[in-house]
Chain A
């Protein structure tokens, strides 16, 4: 059984003070509040968030840039700590924050795949077989033996998508990542993404794309200025969000969701 329970969690980023720090506190159209502390600038990225996700939950996150979506995802993945409150995560988490994160650019596709197998707990006796599977699936041919930094964006995308076969997370956390899929990828690789999402017990996905959200999630959490503004069914929350965006656009340019 997998679950994520967040109780009154507040998360801040800390930065060193540089230059005229007073200017940093000016509020813009996006981004969380910046507080000038004694030694550091504090960005209050999440404030008193409470949330419970259980087996079978398919949850989307929406909100404008800097509203706290990525911070919430990173908190659930263990990449960030809480300044107050509590986070309990049960189950193996598989985060996918950015295409190519978790790869070593200097290593070849083969070496990266071997490493991924080992990190992901693939039995050592089956590493060789999995590596060949990934090679065949990626269609990279000879490039599989070359360093990843020599790949084009599309090639890197192929490798990352093929590596999905090795992901064994019960909790899948994705940040705008589905949009990065190379359209030239084969149906087999595209199918892997579907399998991965379907196999996960909990899906937490941040996206600006209504199409992507409608395809994968049924519950939507709207984050605004580091707080949860709405949490409910996809249709209801998305409608509220769109209405709010229209109102808000009267005060400044706002990118509409696609």
Chain B
């Protein structure tokens, strides 16, 4: 009560601050409202994909959970991690890998296949890519909730400062995903043969990235090369750092930001140059 009164008095004393806050809120509000709306749409669509099943939408994180458990059981080779630790390590990586893979393989036919639907539903070209991004984020966030629950259950000590980096981490992967999606789309529109190559490439990347093998335990050979030069390994490391599975490593963040900035800037330039042409490509 005291705090509330103090706040109001200070606001009265400084009406400019209040007006600025209100203006800022009024600017942000439509975007937040659209975001919530898009998440609601993603929820309805995801629910419909599992309609007729008893567990319904729960199958989305459950299938990732089961697959990660199998990977952890089969490929557990670590001397430094227990099976439960390794399971969380694999799951944190696999959940993000799904997001990365969807950004690439799910973007080969966006404009030619979905723009008509989007236009009938009040979405622009940018809105369409934004909507598909929210779909991917929705799936990732469902998995993230399960990861948090698992950490609480199996490794409560992992809860730490890393979680405060979750929002910056989301910002990084959001921008990268958006840029990647547009670049993949425009490339496969111009060079249709690349559609198959993109799918094969994504499958190869799954094995070439430290999703189910430990990046911290390789110091030489092909895997060490992949950890250093495969950008996906930095993003996987970030996801694990956020959940406290790996120690914080500023170098990995710096590298991920650099890669993301490059992809986002390239995607933006490609959009500026091609958005008129690509919509008319049949």
The docked-state distance in angstroms from the alpha carbon of A93 to that of B48 is 28
- Do A14 and B121 have beta carbons less than 8 Å apart? no
**Does B276 lie within 8 Å of A121, measured CB to CB?**
no
How many residues of B sit at the interface, in one of the four size bands? 20 to 34
A129 within 8 A of B: no
Q: A16-B192, A107-B48 are in contact. Are A97 and B276 (CB under 8 A)?
A: no
Interface window among B13-21, B112-120, B248-256:
B112-120
The residues in A between 38 and 67 inclusive whose CB is less than 8 angstroms from any CB of B are none
A-B residue pairs, 3 tightest by C-beta: A102-B120, A81-B276, A119-B121
| B277 in the interface (beta carbon within 8 A) | yes
Whether B40 sits at the interface, judged by CB under 8 Å, is yes
24 A-B contact pairs sorted by A residue (CB < 8 Å): A13-B281, A13-B282, A14-B277, A14-B281, A77-B119, A78-B119, A79-B119, A80-B280, A81-B275, A83-B276, A92-B122, A94-B122, A97-B116, A102-B120, A104-B117, A106-B48, A111-B48, A114-B44, A115-B44, A115-B121, A118-B37, A118-B41, A119-B123, A121-B37
Interface contact A121-B282, CB-CB below 8 Å: no
Residues from chain A with Cβ under 8 Å of B78 in the complex: none
- How far is B279's CA from A11's CA once the two chains are assembled, in angstroms? 11
A window 107-156: CB within 8 A of B: 107-108, 111, 114-116, 118-121, 124
With A14-B281, A79-B279 given, is the CB distance from A115 to B41 under 8 Å? Answer: yes
Pairwise interchain contact A101-B116, C-beta atoms closer than 8 A: yes
The answer to the question of B36 belonging to the interface, with a C-beta cut-off of 8 Å to chain A, is yes
Would B37 and A12 count as touching, CB distance under 8 A? Answer: no
Output the nearest chain B residue to A120 by Cβ-Cβ distance: B122
Q: How long is the Cα–Cα vector from A115 to B44 in the complex, in angstroms? A: 8
Complex Cα–Cα for A80 and B279 (A): 5
Complex alpha-carbon distance, A97 and B41, angstroms:
23
> In the docked arrangement, what's the CA distance between A92 and B124, Å?
11
Q: Which residues of A contact B (CB under 8 A)?
A: 11-16, 74, 77-83, 92-97, 101-102, 104, 106-108, 111, 114-116, 118-121, 124
Known: A92-B122, A119-B123, A124-B40. A102 touches B280 (CB 8 A): no
Min CB–CB distance A164 → chain B (angstroms): 12
- Docked CA distance A185–B277 (Å): 40
CB-CB under 8 A from A16, the residues of chain B are 192
B117 touching A11, Cβ below 8 Å:
no
Q: Complex Cα distance A169/B40, Å?
A: 22
Residues B26-50 near A (CB distance < 8 A): 36-37, 40-41, 44-45, 48
Residues of chain A with a CB closer than 8 A to B282's CB: 13-15
Given A14-B280, A14-B281, A83-B276, A119 and B122 contact (CB-CB distance below 8 Å): yes
Q: Are B276 and A79 in contact (CB under 8 A)?
A: no
* CB-CB nearest in chain B for A14: B281
- Distance of A92 Cα from B278 Cα, bound (Å): 23
Closest to B125 in A: A78
Q: Mark B238-276, 1 if CB is under 8 A from A, else 0.
A: 000000000000000000000000000000000000011
Docked pose: A11 CA to B117 CA in angstroms: 21
Contacts A102-B117, A114-B44 given; indicate if A78 touches B280 (C-beta within 8 A): no
Tell me which residues across on chain B come within 8 A of A116, comparing CB atoms. 121
> Which chain A residue shows the least CB distance to B192?
A16
Q: Are B120 and A95 in contact (CB under 8 A)?
A: yes
* Closest chain A residue, CB of each to CB of B117: A102
Q: A residues within 8 A CB of B276? A: 81-83
Chain B residue numbers with a CB within 8 Å of A83 are 276-277, 280
Chain A: minimal CB distance from B259 (Å): 30
**CB within 8 Å of A: which of B180-222?**
192
* Inter-subunit contact B277/A79 (CB<8 Å): no
**B192 — which chain A residues lie within 8 A by C-beta?**
16
12 extra interface residue pairs, beta carbon distance < 8 Å, beyond A81-B276, A95-B119: A13-B281, A14-B280, A77-B119, A78-B124, A83-B280, A94-B122, A95-B120, A97-B119, A108-B48, A111-B48, A118-B41, A119-B122
Given A81-B275, A114-B44, A97–B120 Cβ distance below 8 Å? yes
Pick the contact of A81: B36, B44, B116, B280 (CB < 8 A): B280
For the complex, give the distance between the alpha carbons of A81 and B280 in Å: 7
Q: How many Å lie between the Cα of A15 and that of B44 in the bound state?
A: 36
CB neighbours (8 Å) of A74 from chain B are: 119
Say yes or no: B279 contacts A101, CB within 8 Å.
no
| B48 / chain A contacts, CB cutoff of 8 Å | 104, 106-108, 111
CA distance A129 to B121 in the complex (A): 20
Q: Which of B5-25 contact A (CB under 8 A)?
A: none
